[in-house]
Amino acid sequence: MFKVVQNHTELEQAFDIRRKVFVNEQGVPLENELDNYEEVATHVIGYDTNNTPIAAARFRPFNDGVKVERVAVMKEHRKTGIGKDLMQFIEQTAQNLGYDKLILNAQIQAQRFYDNLGYSPIGEIFMEENIKHIKMTKSL
pLDDT, one tens digit per residue, over 14-37 is 999 999 999 999 999 888 888 999
3-state helix, strand, coil in the chain (%, to 5): 35, 40, 25
Residue 26 lies in a domain: yes
Q: Assess whether pLDDT exceeds 90 at residue 77.
A: yes
What is the torsion angle, in degrees rounded to the nearest 10, for the CA atoms of residue 51, residue 116, residue 108 and residue 104? -70
Q: What is the arithmetic mean of pLDDT over 58-87?
A: 95
pLDDT computed for residue 30 by the predictor:
85
pLDDT computed for residue 31 by the predictor:
85
Residue 128 lies in a domain: no
For 34-55, how does the pLDDT look when each residue is reduced to its tens digit (9 = 90+)?
Answer: 899 999 999 999 999 999 999 9
pLDDT computed for residue 44 by the predictor:
98
Residue 33 lies in a domain: yes
Q: For position 61, which CATH number holds?
A: 3.40.630.30
For 98-130, how does the pLDDT look when each residue is reduced to its tens digit (9 = 90+)?
Answer: 999 999 999 999 999 999 999 999 999 999 988
Number of folded domains in the chain? Answer: 1
For residue 62, what are the β-bridge partners? 65
